[in-house]
Amino acid sequence: MTTITLSWGDRPIALETVDGRTFLRIGAALRVDVTDASLDQLDRLADVAADLADHQRDRYRAADVADEVAAENGVRSISVPFQRKPVAA
């Protein structure tokens, strides 16, 4: 199995239909054919996307808490170190 790592940031995510086939377009570099995907697979994709959004919200909240604690202690600015790790698709 080949693992592909793609970072798309805030580039668009959309559905495309070409010649009767349906694709999930993520940014300019990735297009996933979902024409024959089962409803179970599409539901799982939606669940994974929701989990990812929850994970990101938690990260943002953790950074906000660090900033609030720093402000209470008289520190003007604080940052939380972050290192990207590979994620399985």
Model confidence at 6: pLDDT above 60: yes
The overall average pLDDT reported for the chain is 81
Q: What is the pLDDT of residue 83?
A: 64
Q: What is the pLDDT of residue 72?
A: 67
Alpha carbon 4 to chain centroid, angstroms: 15
Domain boundaries, given as residue ranges, for the chain: 13-72
Model confidence at 16: pLDDT above 90: yes
82 versus 5: the higher-pLDDT residue is: 5
pTM for the structure as a whole? 0.59
What are the C-alpha distances in Å from 8 to residues 5, 30, 56? 10, 9, 15
61 versus 39: the higher-pLDDT residue is: 39
* CB neighbour list of residue 49: distance below 8 Å, 6 or more residues apart: none
Q: What is the pLDDT of residue 78?
A: 53
